[in-house]
Chain A
Amino acid sequence: MGDPDAELRLLVVEDSNTTGLTGGWDQDSNYAALVRDELYSSKREDNAGGSYGLGKSVLWTFSGASTVIFNSQLPPGSDDGESPRLIARTKLPTHELPGDDTTYQGAGWFCRPQHTDDGVRPEALRGDEASRLAQRLQIDRPAVSGTSAMVVEYRDPTRDVRPEIDELADEFVEASVKYFWPAIYRGDLRVTVETPEETREADVDNVPSIRPFVESYEARFEEGTTLQNPGDVAGLDIPVDLPPRSDGTETPDGEVRLSSRLASPADDDTYLNRVALFRGAGMVVKYYDQNRVAFGDRNFYGVLACGEARADGPATESDQEVDRFLRFSEPPEHDEWESTENLREQYQRGFRTALDDMFGTLRDGLRHLISKNDSGRDALSDSVLNHFPIHGTGAPRTVSTSDLGRIFEIDSSSRFDGDRWVFSGHITSNVDDFESWTAEISMMGVGEDGTRYDDVPIESISTDSEGVETTTEDGTVRLIADETSKEVTFEGHSRTKSESNLLSGEVGETQLEVRAELETTEGDQA
């Protein structure tokens, strides 16, 4: 006594208002899945959290005695007999006992053995007997449905040093917030960690490294599409185009919500420049590193809220389908969205592309959100222009429907040639029916840290089409095309630099911007 190394550590993981260990030993049941089977989950419904059942194996891994005790309160009206239901299982290597010739292998049970035609079977203790024993084992629980699992002699096999209880409790709280803050924030989950001394509640506000993500999620439907100041949040819809299910059922097109919060120096930067990916289960699948998207001082925290976590109201049919799709894309560890065997079984070809496209658009969307937007100029890159319907910024694409798809294809390139910049490009309208369209072409210098300044004035431009008029004003070119000019090729150059020395500060990285606007016959601006 008094020697901390001599104590037996008991970790009890207790859930409430859950289904409990229902069902029988011979059935495809919660009870059989948790107690009897290895690596198999009975969670087959479309709304289940996981789809493998790997989670439970950690219970034994973390038990120094390879022993886990379950005590479960079944829901009212359950026809599985008296509650609670108590049973323990130990997983030992094959062994013999001194003075005994028997070789023991596999599982050991703390149970009531029952003789059946198929041999001896472990049966759980029930009712009052289970209750009394649970109390003595310190695994008694409130009489609400759910299960308590006790890991006997808790220890972390990956650590050499046995941490203090307080330290462990802090880690549990922090880890539950780190991975379950969406569920906690939405009020779907409450996590408390009790030690003999005190009870801590996992509160999303108390883990500084996670707070920026919570703020980003909170404000994910904020209007506006770019970020100006530290702490600003803006969001975008990322379209997701799922393949049909394997039985041929068509799936609706959906979208997931990306939001990003510009970092401030006062933020905890543990997960800086990462995007928290999660779906309806409210568990963060991973903090996706997007450091390469950040530049200069434009750091951020992002959230990709998918499926049933996308909106606050009831999930739409497409949200449900996206949720289902992403659940099947999770490997047993639930730490990735990738092409899996499950996806192959559940969906027709195209699941890999659907995932790749979603992540590709996510990156473009992030770039757009965090790009600097100097003096109100719209600085959308071509790929972004082609992906997103932009609302409410006075930006060119004020169309109300997102399935208009790509309005323009734009290619361009530029280089420095002796004493001036030369550039060329190609703009094609993908819409057949239009009255006219315009494009504005300009060049800007860029600093080492990504800051943009000063126009590089364009001196001249020419096009290959007679239906296109060009005007140049203050070094910016405007192309006005009539209804006959579906596509146009242009080339031009900047004013000649008097000093072309690379060390003069006059010549450096330069960005060519092309903004195109379409006037349709209905009179809508697109």
Chain B
Amino acid sequence: MSEEETLRRLTEDGRRLVSEPFLKGEAEIEQESIEEFVEPIPGNPTADLGTLDDAVDAALREYSEYETAIDGALAQDVHQCLDINRRVAGDPGLWHWLAVVEYPDLVRHRWKYRSEDAMREKFLGAGSDLYSNAIHRLWWIAELTADGDDYSLTETVFANQTMVNKVFDRWFARYQPAVVAICDELADEPSRVIDDATRRFNHTLTNVQLEGLSEEDARDVVTQIISEVKSE
């Protein structure tokens, strides 16, 4: 077992170190200049970064650039190596630190630079936005789809990027019973059905209180929506 390391966070001011050349991978941030913008997290959460480093290195070797499969390959490791609760995971500074300081190569390997704004989100998204930050999304999607040590649903979700986009870029993605039900039921469906069903589910939630649904209730709603979408 590797040694536990203390996790840290990038301060608000530290975000200014993220320049356009850095986003493009043309410049690095020097360790000493970043030091004053990194601070401890209350409660001093820890992580097995050694193991995570190895997993990231392996993924960088194994997958070519911009392959979406990198997500699935690393989600479980990210989730298991970080010993944090959801409250800590809601701290954007943690994810900014992981993306900017610890694993910038991973972020750039996974995401092609298309525009400054888009790339900035991959490094500096997080908080209430589950979808954007490259590492934050891996942890949260694993957190919301894992059943104890069973990550099979997580793998299923990451195997289908339409699902990642259509489910986790919406507000209902924060409610685990709904996420489990919808991901489970949509797992084998074609993109058209995923697209339409998630949209309709979003529309239904203007009638139904999301947090009032059990996983079973959500499953009923979703299966009904799927059968209607397919019959059209």
Contacts and interface: CB of A to CB of B under 8 A. Distances in A.
The answer to whether A and B interact is yes
A508 B207 CA distance: 6
A453 B204 contact: no
Contact of B205 (A229, A297, A448, A501): A448
Interface in B62-112: 92
Nearest to B96: A266
B207 A502 contact: yes
Interface in A264-294: 264-266, 268-270
A503 B171 CA distance: 18
A296 B202 CA distance: 12
Main secondary structure on chain A at its contact with chain B? loop
B210 A264 contact: no
Nearest to A498: B228
B158 interface: no
B141 interface: no
Of A230, A231, A266, A508, most B-chain CB atoms within 10 Å: A266
A509 interface: yes
A449 B171 CA distance: 6
B120 A266 contact: yes
Interface string A242-280: 000000000000000000000011101110000000000
B204 A296 contact: no
B176 to A, nearest CB: 16
Contacts of A129: none
A453 to B, nearest CB: 6
A35 to B, nearest CB: 40
Interface stretch (B51-59, B121-129, B145-153): B121-129
A268 B202 contact: no
Contact of A447 (B124, B125, B197, B202): B202
Given A448-B172, A503-B220, A504-B228, A266 B203 contact: no
Interface residues of A, number: 31
Interface stretch (B9-17, B28-36, B184-192): B9-17
A508 B228 contact: no
A82 interface: no
A508 B121 contact: no
Interface in B150-204: 170-172, 197, 199-204
Interface string A428-446: 0000000000000000011
Contact of B129 (A265, A268, A507, A509): A265
B12 A504 contact: no
A208 B12 CA distance: 7
Interface in A443-477: 445-449, 451, 453-454
A40 B211 CA distance: 56
Nearest to A296: B171
A231 B207 contact: no
A265 B221 contact: no
Given A448-B172, A508-B206, A499 B220 contact: no
B27 interface: no
Contacts, number: 95
A507 B221 CA distance: 13
Interface string A297-308: 100000000000
Interface in A480-526: 499, 501-509
Contacts of A453: 199, 203
B49 to A, nearest CB: 24
A230 to B, nearest CB: 6
B117 A447 contact: no
Main secondary structure on chain B at its contact with chain A? helix
B16 A447 contact: no
A148 to B, nearest CB: 31
A229 B120 CA distance: 13
Given A448-B172, A501-B224, A507-B207, A266 B121 contact: yes
B117 A230 contact: yes
Contacts of A446: 203, 206
A229 B117 contact: yes
Contacts of B133: 265
B117 to A, nearest CB: 6
Contacts of B207: 502-503, 507-509
Contacts of B18: 266
A466 B207 CA distance: 39
Contacts of A208: 12-13, 15-16
A427 to B, nearest CB: 27
A398 interface: no
A208 B171 CA distance: 27
Contacts of A509: 203, 206-207
Given A208-B15, A508-B206, A508-B207, 20 more contacts: A208-B12, A265-B126, A265-B129, A266-B18, A266-B124, A446-B206, A447-B205, A448-B205, A448-B206, A449-B171, A453-B203, A499-B228, A501-B224, A503-B208, A504-B204, A505-B204, A506-B203, A508-B203, A508-B204, A509-B206
24 contacts: A208-B16, A265-B120, A265-B121, A265-B132, A266-B15, A266-B120, A268-B12, A268-B15, A296-B171, A447-B199, A447-B206, A448-B171, A449-B170, A449-B202, A501-B224, A502-B207, A503-B220, A503-B225, A504-B228, A505-B199, A505-B204, A506-B228, A509-B206, A509-B207
Interface of B: 12-13, 15-16, 18, 92, 117, 120-121, 124-127, 129, 132-133, 170-172, 197, 199-208, 210, 220-221, 224-225, 228
